[in-house]
């Protein structure tokens, strides 16, 4: 077979979005934009400023902050650069010794979350010199190599916020939570449930973890392989288990609330009081431990309706000491991240999504002179803020009107030779089929008035 014939036979590959990633089309991005604009507006009223951090950072930044043993770092990061051998090691969860061997090129990872990056930026830009606390929010894509399912993607989007500074006043915890709840309320998110907990600090948590480990060892045989492994790596995560067979065992385990030191217990009590002062309704959940290592004291999670098993729409907590761990000054911190994909899913399922706006005006034109007028009309109408569809090719009026209908246009502006020579333009209202003629200035005036009435 000649080379040419062979080429003809090969079907070109059809590319598809990589597993766990997806396209968001205009019918959906209307809602995404609405959600993001609401976040800008609500977070702005709480005095938060937007920060944009890079999509990739040093692998070590995430390993140090989130924890090398966590699922996110040991299994789920997209890591590249350096040597192939090292990315294998990161994927296989064997981070040990990696740092010393990392010369000469630094490994980088796509960000699985943004708290670590925000802390890095706080240090890099000496934000401790700004009026405290520094209140920042962000939105954008994050990357985790998880098993994709409804509400769980490998490229997903978060809207998050962080408060960094010298104070760990419980009112800060409560205000951060109040802000997310206000945001969800503004979006009319349905079935919102806030769970809170305190997981103690450096003083009391290690003792509790030891106690928990000892208790778990006694029932090890009755636990599944994941929990058995976690007895060694991170016993707190056993409390997270959703395995039906483990629920009865977990219910009998010691609870952290009974083992908090005096300071942590007082902080937790004050956070609850502050939430009550703000009218924020919460449920205490002693099993809420969160999957990232940097947390201490306050942790919280919010679920919403219509999401199936992946129903956590927001997670957050306090992480005092993380900035120091990254080489910065002594700093307290608390924040959250909302899973925007899940938030959108829940809003869609409950019918709270705004409809995609159709065009205001479709210009049906015929003839060369009319085309020139149509181009000028489109420019003027767009300048006045109307959305205008100007077909690139001449088409019969019947076909043009059909097209206008399909696009959901409110009006069709009909421009033919007659209209141009008379200086009177025909405007057809597509909803009722009525028609009227206007001079150019009158037409703009009429459209402006009718837009003001409908909005
Ligand atoms: P996280 O719990 O790992 O916390 O993630 C926060 C939220 O992101 C989750 O509740 C979920 O809605 C969403 N999410 C996580 N993974 C996926 C995924 N694969 N697909 C879709 N959505 C997902 C953090 O990321 C912390 N940085 C939050 C934080 C900020 N804590 C303090 N400050």
b/e burial code for range 227-242 (CB count within 10 A of at least 16 → b): beebbeebbbbbbbbe
Cis peptide before 372 (omega within 30 of 0): no
60 alpha carbon – ligand 1 mean position (Å): 19
Strands 283-284 and 193-198: parallel
- Could you identify the atom of ligand 1 that is nearest to the CA of residue 152? 20
Q: Which residue has the tokens 């002594």?
A: 330
284 alpha carbon – ligand 1 mean position (Å): 20
pLDDT given at position 65: 96
pLDDT given at position 48: 98
Q: How far apart are CA 386 and CA 379, in angstroms?
A: 10
330 alpha carbon – ligand 1 mean position (Å): 25
Strands 134-143 and 312-318: unpaired
Q: How far lies 425's CA from each of 328, 419, 452, in Å? A: 67, 5, 21
- Could you identify the atom of ligand 1 that is nearest to the CA of residue 312? 10
Q: How far apart are CA 162 and CA 121, in angstroms?
A: 12
Q: Which of 158, 179, 309 to mutate to test the pocket of ligand 1 (most atoms within 8 A of CB)?
A: 158
413 alpha carbon – ligand 1 mean position (Å): 49
CA 22 to chain centre: 14
pLDDT given at position 355: 75
- Ligand 1, atom 17, lies closest to the CA of 152
- Could you identify the atom of ligand 1 that is nearest to the CA of residue 153? 20
419 alpha carbon – ligand 1 mean position (Å): 58
- Ligand 1, atom 1, lies closest to the CA of 315
- Ligand 1, atom 20, lies closest to the CA of 152
- Ligand 1, atom 14, lies closest to the CA of 339
pLDDT given at position 8: 63
For the chain, what is the largest distance between any 2 Cα atoms, rounded to a whole number of angstroms?
94
290 alpha carbon – ligand 1 mean position (Å): 10
Lateral strand order in the sheet of 425-429? 388-389, 361-365, 411-415, 425-429, 435-438
Q: What is the dihedral of CA 216, 147, 305, 247, to 10 degrees?
A: -20
Length of the chain: 455
355 alpha carbon – ligand 1 mean position (Å): 28
99 alpha carbon – ligand 1 mean position (Å): 26
- Ligand 1, atom 31, lies closest to the CA of 316
- The pocket around ligand 1, CB under 6 angstroms, is made up of 113, 115, 144, 146, 151-153, 156, 158, 160, 162, 312-317, 319, 335-337, 339, 341-342
Around 79, how many Cα atoms within 13 Å sit in the side-chain half-sphere? Answer: 30
pLDDT given at position 357: 80
- Ligand 1, atom 23, lies closest to the CA of 339
162 alpha carbon – ligand 1 mean position (Å): 13
pLDDT given at position 403: 95
Q: How far lies 244's CA from each of 82, 84, 94, 308, in Å? A: 42, 39, 30, 16
Residues near 228 by beta carbon (within 8 Å), at least 6 away in sequence: 220
Residues near 193 by beta carbon (within 8 Å), at least 6 away in sequence: 283, 302, 303, 304
198 alpha carbon – ligand 1 mean position (Å): 18
- Ligand 1, atom 2, lies closest to the CA of 315
Q: Which residue has the tokens 């040419």?
A: 4
Which segments of the chain have a pLDDT < 50?
Answer: 104
pLDDT tens, position by position, 381-400: 999 999 999 999 999 999 99
- Ligand 1, atom 16, lies closest to the CA of 152
- Ligand 1, atom 8, lies closest to the CA of 339
Q: How far apart are CA 77 and CA 91, in angstroms?
A: 7
315 alpha carbon – ligand 1 mean position (Å): 6
- Ligand 1, atom 25, lies closest to the CA of 113
pLDDT given at position 3: 61
Q: Which of 110, 339, 341, 344 to mutate to test the pocket of ligand 1 (most atoms within 8 A of CB)?
A: 339
Residues near 284 by beta carbon (within 8 Å), at least 6 away in sequence: 195, 196, 197, 257, 272
pTM: 0.90
Three-point CA angle 93, 238, 312, nearest 5°: 90
The single-letter DSSP state of residue 149 is B
pLDDT given at position 365: 97
400 alpha carbon – ligand 1 mean position (Å): 48
Three-point CA angle 317, 318, 320, nearest 5°: 155
């Amino acid at each position: 077979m000649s080379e040419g014939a062979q080429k003809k036979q090969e079907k070109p590959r059809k590319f598809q979005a990589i597993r766990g990633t997806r396209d968001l089309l205009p019918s959906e991005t209307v809602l995404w934009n609405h959600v993001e604009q609401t976040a800008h507006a609500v977070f702005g009223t709480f005095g938060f400023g937007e920060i944009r951090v890079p999509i990739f950072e040093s692998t070590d930044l995430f390993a140090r902050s989130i924890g090398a043993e966590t699922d996110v770092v040991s299994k789920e990061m997209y890591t590249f650069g350096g040597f192939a051998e090292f990315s294998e090691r990161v994927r296989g969860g064997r981070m040990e010794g990696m740092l010393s061997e990392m010369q000469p090129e630094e490994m980088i990872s796509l960000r699985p979350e943004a708290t670590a990056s925000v802390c890095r930026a706080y240090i890099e830009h000496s934000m401790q010199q700004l009026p405290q606390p520094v209140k920042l929010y962000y939105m954008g894509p994050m990357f985790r190599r998880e098993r994709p399912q409804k509400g769980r993607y490998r490229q997903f989007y978060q809207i998050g916020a962080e408060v960094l500074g010298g104070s760990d006043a419980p009112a800060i915890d409560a205000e951060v939570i109040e802000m997310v709840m206000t945001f969800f309320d503004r979006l009319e998110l349905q079935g919102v449930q806030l769970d809170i907990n305190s997981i103690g600090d450096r003083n009391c948590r290690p003792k509790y973890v030891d106690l928990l480990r000892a208790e778990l060892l006694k029932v090890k045989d009755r636990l599944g392989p994941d929990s058995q492994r976690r007895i060694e790596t991170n016993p707190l995560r056993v409390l997270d288990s959703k395995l039906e067979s483990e629920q009865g065992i977990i219910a009998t385990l010691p609870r952290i609330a009974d083992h908090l030191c005096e300071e942590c217990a007082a902080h937790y009590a004050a956070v609850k009081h502050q939430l009550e002062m703000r009218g924020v309704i919460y449920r205490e959940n002693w099993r809420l431990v969160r999957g990232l290592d940097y947390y201490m004291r306050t942790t919280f999670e919010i679920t919403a309706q219509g999401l199936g098993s992946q129903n956590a729409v927001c997670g957050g907590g306090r992480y005092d000491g993380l900035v120091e761990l990254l080489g910065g000054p002594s700093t307290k911190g608390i924040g959250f991240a909302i899973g925007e994909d899940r938030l959108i899913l829940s809003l869609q399922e409950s019918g709270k999504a705004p409809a995609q706006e159709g065009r205001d005006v479709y210009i049906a034109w015929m003839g060369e002179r009319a085309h020139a007028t149509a181009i000028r009309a489109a420019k003027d109408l767009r300048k006045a803020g109307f959305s205008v569809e100007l077909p690139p090719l001449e088409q019969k009026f019947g076909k043009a009107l059909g097209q206008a209908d399909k696009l959901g246009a409110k009006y069709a502006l009909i421009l033919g030779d007659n209209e141009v020579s008379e200086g009177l333009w025909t405007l057809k209202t597509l909803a009722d089929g009525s028609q009227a003629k206007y001079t150019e200035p009158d037409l703009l005036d009429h459209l402006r008035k009718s837009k003001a009435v409908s909005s």
